Amino acid sequence: MTVRVSCNDCSLSQICLPLAVEPEQLDELDRMIRRGRPLKRGEHLYRAADSFEAVYAVRSGALKTYSMSEEGDEQVTGFYLPGEIVGMDGIGTAHHVSSAKALETSTVCEIPFTQLEALSTKIPTLQRHFFSLMSREIQEDRMLHMLLSKKSADDRVASLILSIGARHQRRGLSNTQFRLPMSRYDIANYLGLAVETVSRIFTRLQQQELISVDGREIQILDRPGLCGDSRKTCTS
């Protein structure tokens, strides 16, 4: 079943596609957006090699993207929180090159890409905003490569925590107290570390009174200390 979604009523409108659209133009955008039933934890939004037909704005919950190696191993390539756009990996190839899976019960707004393209020609600000989103994807991919090139595993984990905090701040939420939607396994996979290493680092950061950890609940106690002198890419 498809549910009509109003961008006017969405609390995420300031960080999603409608950011670039004037209020009187939202009706046309509303008419193309679809939202189906919620995705359950572990359920796929799309799989690698599926035809590329739409991009998706995360409305609630969280998703991860991943690819499979030739050996059949999963490699987590990204995490997506409310207000963020997932699915742009298929724009250049007409099919998705990675898979997207819900980390918890999640809802998305489906935006058919052909209709979005047509609307973008009539609303230049929407087109520029979409280009900006693609640019952010490229920047975040570059940041991931920089992150994985760091010698310190502690730096990798600290940078991810700070990044998640900054993304919460964009939604008007606290950047120092939040819940991590992903498991320690997914964090380890994303950062190229062993799960045991990630667990030890969380314990060590807590012992250093840089963070407080309660399951997946995180509180940043000392942000400058968590950034550290060696973490030049500390998220502001």
The pLDDT assigned to 234 comes to 59
Residue 144 reports pLDDT greater than 70: no
Write the pLDDT tens digit of every residue in 9-23: 666 555 565 555 666
List the chain domain ranges. Answer: 7-146, 151-227
CATH topology assigned to domain 7-146: Jelly Rolls (2.60.120)
Q: Which pLDDT band holds residue 235 (cuts at 50, 70, 90)?
A: very low
Mean residue pLDDT of the chain comes to 84
Mean pLDDT of 58-73: 92
CB atoms within 10 A of CB 92: 9
CA angle 173/175/179 to nearest 5° reads: 80
Report pTM: 0.85
Residue 203 Cα distances to 1, 122, 184, 215, 218, angstroms: 45, 53, 12, 11, 12
* Distance, CA of 208 to CA of 161 (rounded, Å): 15
Residue 63 reports pLDDT greater than 50: yes
Q: Which residue has the tokens 């998706």?
A: 56
Could you tell me which residues come within 8 angstroms of residue 147 by beta carbon, excluding any fewer than 6 positions away? Answer: 155, 156, 159, 160, 191, 233
Class of residue 161 by CB neighbours under 10 A (exposed 0-12, middle 13-18, buried 19+): buried
* Distance, CA of 219 to CA of 196 (rounded, Å): 21
* Distance, CA of 9 to CA of 195 (rounded, Å): 40
Q: Which pLDDT band holds residue 126 (cuts at 50, 70, 90)?
A: confident
| CATH of 151-227 given 1.10.10.10, 1.10.357.10, 3.40.50.720, 3.40.50.300 | 1.10.10.10
